[in-house]
Amino acid sequence: MRSTTITVLALWLWSVPARADSRYDVGLLLGSTHATDEGAVLVFDPARTYQATFNARFWKSDAVALSFEVAFIASPAFLVTTANPQLPKEYASLYLTPGLRVTVLPDHPVAFFAAVGGGYARYSESKVRRDESPNPQQRDTDTGALQFGGGVEVRGFKWLGFRGEIRDVFTGARNFSIATPQPRVHNVVGSGGLVIRF
């Protein structure tokens, strides 16, 4: 039943005619994030990252387009690399950063873009430690975020395109159950995926 539903939905989307001058798009991307370590206290493995980006163009010429975008980026699990079993096992992060995007050669088969934005970041420490015992001091952090980056977009078939990009999400400190020395955190996100235009 599930495969039938997905097939019908895909065929319906394929039959939708592409607008010659699409003003909106949604990017659905999968990638990896490398986050700043907390000195030798907490060292983190790269985390699988999911991203959804909404983009609304408000001005365009033959050479350049300007858009408002909202980027939502989430990493469910940064594993902690440590020999200390009393340290947190992992943490999760999410970022919501509205901003501006500048696209060069917007109507060409291959376009390049740069983006900058700011907003909200949340870090959530795991409720268990490396040894799977409870982490009674588990903490969450709400802080500000500034993100910037860029990438390349390739036009595909009708309403479908492909995108690859790199962003750096720069945030305030993470508040963990142990002392963390870094006052700021860089989260370098590399991702790629589909773009749906409408």
CA dist 176 → 42, 92, 139, 192, 196 (Å):
10, 12, 6, 30, 38
Residue 21: predicted pLDDT: 63
All residues at 6 or more sequence positions from 6 whose CB lies less than 8 Å from its CB, including other chains:
none
Q: How many CB atoms lie within 10 A of CB 124?
A: 17
The whole-model pTM stands at: 0.85
Looking at the domain assignment, is residue 6 inside a domain?
Answer: no
Q: How many CA atoms lie within 13 A of 124 on its CB side?
A: 11
Looking at the domain assignment, is residue 3 inside a domain?
Answer: no
Q: What is the residue range of 62's domain?
A: 21-197
Scan for tokens 């390049």, then name that residue.
112
What pLDDT digit, counting tens, does each position of 8-35 carry? 444 444 444 444 467 899 999 999 999 9
What are the pLDDT tens digits along the chain (198 aa)?
A: 556 555 544 444 444 444 446 789 999 999 999 999 988 778 999 999 999 999 999 999 999 999 999 999 999 999 988 778 888 899 999 999 999 999 999 989 999 999 999 999 999 999 999 888 998 889 999 999 999 999 999 988 778 999 999 999 999 999 888 888 888 999 999 999 999 998
Scan for tokens 């990017």, then name that residue.
27
Q: Please give the Cα distance from 195 to 53 (Å, whole number).
A: 9
Which CATH number belongs to the domain containing residue 109 in this structure? 2.40.160.20
Q: Please give the Cα distance from 45 to 39 (Å, whole number).
A: 14
Scan for tokens 């040894």, then name that residue.
131
Looking at the domain assignment, is residue 9 inside a domain?
Answer: no
Looking at the domain assignment, is residue 13 inside a domain?
Answer: no
Cβ atoms of residues 43 and 82 within 8 Å:
yes
What are the strands, taking DSSP E only, across the chain?
Answer: 24-35, 43-44, 47-60, 64-81, 90-104, 110-125, 140-155, 160-172, 184-197
List alpha helices for 92-196, DSSP H. none
Cβ atoms of residues 89 and 128 within 8 Å:
yes
Scan for tokens 């993470």, then name that residue.
174
Looking at the domain assignment, is residue 106 inside a domain?
Answer: yes
Looking at the domain assignment, is residue 63 inside a domain?
Answer: yes
Cβ atoms of residues 167 and 148 within 8 Å:
yes
Looking at the domain assignment, is residue 126 inside a domain?
Answer: yes
Scan for tokens 């895909």, then name that residue.
10
Q: What amino acid occupies position 179?
A: A
Looking at the domain assignment, is residue 5 inside a domain?
Answer: no
The total of structural domains in the chain comes to: 1
